């Protein structure tokens, strides 16, 4: 994987996790304040956020690995990107 591609993947994963966790959690906190039901909706939001982040990261990882076709797994590299002898 190229350096730019790896950096792009890292940013994509981090933003996916951040927003998948943050939006449902903040929505739960807001609902709890409005309805006075703390911590019910905060916990529900946290659980939904964890589920959404897990699904999002898994989808990105599967899509990325299917695009690379497992090329790097077939050719293990040593230091300085030289192929290791068998």
Q: Which residues contact 48 (CB under 8 A, 6 or more apart)?
A: 24, 28
The C-alpha atoms of residue 48 and residue 67 are separated, in whole angstroms, by: 28
Assess whether pLDDT exceeds 70 at residue 64.
Answer: yes
Reported pTM: 0.70
Locus of tokens 């497992």: 70
What is the mean pLDDT of the segment spanning 17-43?
Answer: 95
Residue 47: count other Cβ atoms within 10 Å of its Cβ. Answer: 13
> pLDDT for 32-49, tens place per residue?
999 999 899 999 999 999
Assess whether pLDDT exceeds 70 at residue 50.
Answer: yes
Comparing 21-25, 48-52, 75-79, which segment has the lowest mean pLDDT? 75-79
């Amino acid at each position: 994987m190229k350096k730019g591609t790896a950096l792009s993947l890292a940013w994509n994963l981090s933003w996916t996790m951040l927003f998948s966790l943050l939006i449902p959690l903040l929505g739960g906190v807001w609902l709890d304040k409005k309805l006075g039901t703390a911590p019910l909706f905060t916990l529900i939001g946290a659980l939904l956020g964890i589920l959404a982040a897990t699904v999002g990261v898994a989808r990105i990882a599967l899509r990325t690995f299917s695009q690379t076709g497992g090329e790097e797994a077939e050719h293990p590299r040593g230091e300085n990107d030289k192929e290791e002898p068998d």
